Amino acid sequence: MSQRMSNVPLIGKPVERVDGRLKVTGGARYAAEFKHTGMTYGALVMSTIANGRIKGIDSKDAERAPGVLAVITHLNAPRLRFPERRVGMDPRLVDDHVAPLVGQSLPVLQGPTIYFNSQPVAVVVAETLEQAEYATTLVKVTYGEEKPITSVEAEMARAFPPQEGLGKDPQTGRQPDRAADVVRGDPQALSKAEVVVDETYTIPIEHHNPMELLSTIAEWKGGKLTVHDKTQWVPNVQGYLAIVFGLPEEDVHVISPFVGGAFGSSLRPWSHPVVAAMAARVVKRPVKLVVTRKQMFSSHGHRPYTVQRVALGAGKDGRLTAIVHEGYAQTSLYEENTENLVNVGRMLYASPNCITKYRLVRGNVQTPLYMRAPGECSGVFALDSAMDELAYKLKIDPLELRIRNHADSDPYSGLPWSSKSLLECYKQGAEKFGWARRTIEPRSMRDGHYLIGWGMSTGTYPTWRAPSSARARIFSDGTAVVQSSASDMGPGTWTTMKIIGAEALAMDLSQVRSELGDSTLPKAAVHGGSMTTASVGSAVYEAGLAARAKLLALVNTDSRSPLRGTSAEQVDFANGRIFLKTDPSRGETYSDILRRNRLESIEATVDSKPGAESEKFSMHAFAAHFVEVRVDSELGVLRVSRTVSACGGGRIINEQTARSQISGAVVGGLGMALTEETVMDHRMGRIVNSSLAEYHVPVNADIPKIEAFFVQERDDKVNPLGAKGIGEVGYVGVASAVANAVFHATGKRVRKLPITLDKLL
């Protein structure tokens, strides 16, 4: 059928959040806010060592405490099945609900082994939260302790290539995205370069620290499990719990309508939903388990500690002749967590020769996890810091150096870009920032006793699309609903689903609503990786078109309809009507059609899947970030005073929430650059700043004027909407832009984040 829309397009216009009023008035209910009759409360007991075994647990005093219903440990917990993946496993035996592709999910409360400090070793269930928390202090645990391994630098000699990245796909012959080693061109090119920069860059562990804590309410009824859970992937929690408890998926109902921030921390089910469901089964009542802020530092993953070497070789004209990008990342003892750490070295800048190496280092830590812009933001910090160092060595403007090394096609895959507006991002961003007024020498720009620094960096993030399903239903009263089990942790999925649904259905925005966050709805892709709009949005769009096609099929054979016998090419849709293109007065409303046929509604459910586009094109979003810093020349106090970010993100669905996404990403990038660091006491393997008082996330006083805008970009190849993800690309490159601005202001190159006062004095 014709996909032409004759009504005023909704996509691309600024639209206020449809869930905004609920959130500011307290009407939005998060996972821990649902009410259940007979609710009980769980509280976790965490290990006090990082490596060893539990020798004994004395829970008698806790069991006798007021209100306590159960104390569950590995000694009395139900035996559960935790998913495991191994390289070479028959694909038919591999569970789809494991985040890392190699290893076993933490078998919580199943044995005495301690893998990391603050690992759950018991859960107390009581009538009230206060009773449960008090009883945890009465549980006495004795350990056989061994020396923990938590330092990446101390263990780099034992680093190993990730199993996921070894070898080539036997069917396609292609290297995996996270290949352990990639060599393109002459491996000796660096030694032949006229100019070389060769440095090491370090990024510490960082934690997501969303406002909403990890939380689950679990209830069993007749062998079926219902959970309210904070998650970025509702079907994944459903499937995971079904595997662990040996249930059919349809017997697990997961509800997660609102998520109070996550940034990747809730991409996979951690221990808390399993423990809550386990406890609810034991006490035979609903159990609410909310992880404390302190426990958040070990109850889910984190951005992994990474050490990267970047070596760049270039001619005196600034053209790159060699790129070497090596990365070492920490993982846990029981899983391999990998991310796209060195991928940017292969594709961001043109170079005939490139070597990348990726290695993992095991340690007594919780399995790391994707944190906003995983891999790419860490990799670009190293790569674009090195590019800045090369620019100064060559005495070439840093922006000009990047333009000279612009990649007109993907250097890694050899594929053409589906679209790329990076040069335009450079141009428009530089104009808005005033880059032409920058003087090149460090410490050459001042405002009184403040040193002024201007720095910039490139941002990029892959454009992903995963299989997703959606339903569109049109009602006889002239309204409609679009549905998917997608999550919304804040970027505006509630709103974008409504916008896309209204445009696809050719209805007024006020007549369409969206529903999400429930496993009984059509399955959605993960709410992460900047792929929700591309995946779920495409499904919603296609479901809307399918529902319209069903309406047209109704009238096509209806002798009472003025449109009987018309083809899809002859009609158009607008404002909830079908009408002839040649005579718009000849038509009828959706309501008229349904009522005449005595139908309450008509619906279509669509399974939307990516095609072969990723085999034909390299698909990425791009950005250019410009940053100004002010550094007190006497005290070394550093402040970011303004930022400008120009982004090419394909078709922008909602300009208002899209700008908010970029602004929020910049804030995260500033935190990465200036304040965020999880500090580990390596003697005990213990995190010593596990609170918001000591783990410093950016606050309002830290945030400057942020200007974010989008370069117009049309891309018909990435998905039916032409939308690229923007949640991550606004983050990638911010930290390196800040570091580069700090060098311009002070002449001091900081290669280990965060850039704190002690590194500037």
List, by residue number, the catalytic residues: 728
State the Cα–Cα distance between residues 537 and 522, nearest whole angstrom: 13
Instruction: Determine the residue type at 113.
Output: T
β-pairing, 468-475 with 638-648?
unpaired
Amino acid present at 248: P
183 three-state secondary structure: strand
Q: Which residues pair with 44 in a beta bridge?
A: 123
DSSP per-residue letters across 126-137: ESSHHHHHHHHT
Could you give the angle at the alpha carbon of 81 between the alpha carbons of 76 and 82, nearest 5°? 110
Is the peptide bond preceding residue 754 cis, with omega within 30 degrees of 0? Answer: yes
C-alpha dihedral sign at 288, 293, 298, 302:
positive
**What DSSP element (H or E) covers 422?**
helix 422-433
**Pairing of β 620-632 and β 601-608:** unpaired
Q: Is the dihedral of CA 685, 691, 694, 696 positive or negative?
A: positive
Q: What is the enclosing helix (H) or strand (E) of 738?
A: helix 734-746
Q: Do strands 68-73 and 120-126 pair parallel, antiparallel, or not at all (unpaired)?
A: antiparallel
* Burial class (CB within 10 angstroms; exposed 0-12, middle 13-18, buried 19+) of 13: middle
Helix%, strand%, coil% for the chain, nearest 5: 30, 25, 45
Residue type, 347: M
Nearest to 298 by CA among 208, 201, 410: 208
* Helix and strand element counts for the chain (H, E): 18, 32
Task: Count CB atoms within 10 A of the CB of residue 201.
Answer: 23
CB 296, CB 213: distance < 8 Å: yes
What amino acid is encoded at 357 in this protein?
K
Cα torsion through 752, 754, 760, 761, rounded to 10: -100
C-alpha separations of 706 from 220, 432, 640, 655, 659 in Å: 48, 12, 10, 16, 10
CA 311/CA 196 separation, integer angstroms: 7
> How far apart are alpha carbons 442 and 747 in whole angstroms?
5
- Containing 399, the helix (H) or strand (E) segment is helix 398-404
C-alpha closest to that of 565 among 577, 574, 553: 553
Task: Specify the residue for token string 């990391």.
Answer: 116
Q: Pairing relation of β-strands 140-145 and 52-58? A: antiparallel
Q: Which one-letter amino acid corresponds to residue 404?
A: R
Residue 703 near residue 667 (C-beta atoms within 8 A): yes
CB 370 within 8 A of CB 267: yes
